[in-house]
Amino acid sequence: MAIYNTTVADVALRKSPTLKEMISIRNIIKILNDSDVVVSKRKESVATIQKECIERIDLSFEKSDIEEIVKDGVASLERGYAEGVIEALDLFAELLGYCPPPRVFDISQHKIIGALSQKENGEIIFGPIITYSIIHNLLKLIDEKIGSFDKKKIEYLQQVAVGRKEASAEGPDVFQYLKKGVVN
């Protein structure tokens, strides 16, 4: 795919010439060599178009937009609509810079997001942590940072996720916590 700096008629002549147009030597030169009007080709063209499209997107948001995400997330949680809860969590993850957990923190059948950092010694720090049990429709918050070398804290995370230990917040309160993180 090429981007041209010329008229549509000129591009049509160069790419789909008629027999009548090919009789002219000047046109034959144009047909065989389009380097005088080509701005970019292939990946560079795609990158240019992608950049222009992204520049047009308005990514600004207001407090009312965040409250709407909370409202939708809480309603989905109350109805047991897992896809709606996950969509709200994904939006908050994007706004707060949260990401999925490293393998050591992952729990099957749970959507987990949290802040991720790394110490100089290579230890991964994850938290605060939001867990959502897709099967049991339970949303929980662990409002602390857990290191990947701390086996007791990782066990604590798993116990909270399955409901055997108390979480910092549960249910709709988790969405309020996320809202505060975005608005403040």
Question: Looking at the structure, do residues 128 and 80 belong to the same domain, yes or no?
Answer: yes
**pLDDT of 5 over the 80 cut:** no
Do 40 and 87 sit in the same domain of this protein? Answer: no
Same domain, 83 and 29: no
Regarding whether 45 and 80 lie in a shared domain, the answer is no
Average pLDDT over residues 171-182: 96
Residues 49 and 67 in one domain: no
- Same domain membership, residue 143 and residue 103: yes
**Domain of 26?**
2-56
Domain tally, the chain: 2
Residue 39 pLDDT:
78
Does residue 132 have a pLDDT over 80? yes
117 and 31 both lie in a single domain: no
Question: SS3 for 85?
Answer: helix
pLDDT of 37: 79
What tokens does 135 get?
């099967």
pTM over 0.75: no
Helix (H, G, I), strand (E, B) or coil at 171: coil
